[in-house]
Amino acid sequence: MNRVSIVKNKLEKRELCFGTHCSVADLDFYEMCGLLGYDYVWIDNEHAGMTQPMIKNAIIAANAGGSCAFVRVPDHEAAHIKPVLECGPDGIVFPMVNTAEEAEKCVAICTYPPGGIRGFGPLRSMDYGTKDLQSYISSVDDSFLRLIQCEHIESVENLDEILEVPGVNGVICGPMDLSASIGKIGEFRDPEMRRLMQAIIDKCKAHGKPFGLSVGGMQKEFIAFWLEQGACFLSVGGPQDYFRDMSYKMREEIRVLERKNS
């Protein structure tokens, strides 16, 4: 069973797929994530501005460690998505999908005609031409996940229609941007914010779609809420979070030892 099949199997059973974010140039981190047991690495190209070679190498490194590689693209434009598809990711994450029309566009860019508008130019996605053409065409749509982010109040309002779009495999909430869209950035306990998050959860359940959360740091109470609701995706932290938190912890432990010996 390949990596994507393992993740899909977990999603069908509504089991948790756990991942972390990364956009650094050092490939060791991506490989380590798999060795440490992460189901996937979220390679972020929305905020980081990674080049195609960086993305391809990050995907290869994550796969080498045993993790799936999900790439968040910067927008919904074919010119930015097609090069990523040719690198053979295990999932594409589309940010800020607010309407069914936007979701349809994202899926179409990932799909060859007649079902979509994807141009033909596979590289790593077709094992560099060593895979049989018909075998590739018949399996490519199932070889990666198409995940949309719900991170704006407009997206929540239109989510029923978005979830009816064929080819959308799951929804990931972006709570910071969602809270910003109602003028309450970072206020995750706000009643309106709670209502919007619950609406995302309820609508995904009604449509039988897996859902989850992408959050910067380890916020136990907030994460626990999503897990209690049945979240299947949980993307937490990144290298800067791990370095910061470990540095704080190590510094304090050394200070304690220093005081004991002073």
Q: Note the pLDDT tens digit of each residue in 24-40.
A: 999 999 999 999 999 99
Please, what is the average pLDDT of the chain?
A: 94
Q: Encoding tokens for residue 40?
A: 């996937």
Region 47-74 average pLDDT = 95
Q: How far apart are CA 211 and CA 174, in angstroms?
A: 11
Total residue count of the chain as it appears in this document? 262
Tens-place pLDDT, residues 142-164: 999 999 999 999 999 999 999 99
Q: Encoding tokens for residue 96?
A: 């800020």
Tell me the torsion sign for CA atoms 193, 196, 201, 202: positive
What's the confidence (pLDDT) of residue 117?
Answer: 96
3-state SS record for the chain:
CCHHHHHHHHHHCCCCEEEEEECCCCCHHHHHHHHCCCCEEEEECCCCCCCHHHHHHHHHHHHHHCCEEEEECCCCCHHHHHHHHCCCCCEEEECCCCCHHHHHHHHHHCCCCCCCCCCCCCCHHHHHHCCCHHHHHHHHHHCCEEEEEECCHHHHHCHHHHHCCCCCCEEEECHHHHHHCCCCCCCCCCHHHHHHHHHHHHHHHHHCCCEEEEECCCCHHHHHHHHHCCCCEEEECCHHHHHHHHHHHHHHHHHHHHHHCC
Domains located in the chain, CATH noted:
3-260 (3.20.20.60)
Region 91-104 average pLDDT = 99
Which of 21, 47, 76, 80 is an active site residue? 47
What's the confidence (pLDDT) of residue 261?
Answer: 80
Cβ-based neighbour number of residue 72 at 10 Å = 25
pTM for this one? 0.92
What's the confidence (pLDDT) of residue 48?
Answer: 87
Tens-place pLDDT, residues 5-23: 899 999 999 999 999 999 9
Region 61-67 average pLDDT = 96
Q: Are strands 91-94 and 145-150 parallel, antiparallel or unpaired?
A: parallel
Catalytic residue flag (residue 80)? no
Tens-place pLDDT, residues 207-257: 999 999 998 877 888 899 999 999 999 999 988 888 898 899 999 999 988
Q: To the nearest whole percent, how much of the chain has pLDDT over 90? A: 84
Q: Are strands 68-72 and 233-236 parallel, antiparallel or unpaired?
A: unpaired
Q: How far apart are CA 96 and CA 115, in angstroms?
A: 23
- Confidence band for 1, pLDDT divided at 50, 70 and 90: low
Q: How far apart are CA 102 and CA 99, in angstroms?
A: 5
Whose tokens are 């089991």? That residue is: 15
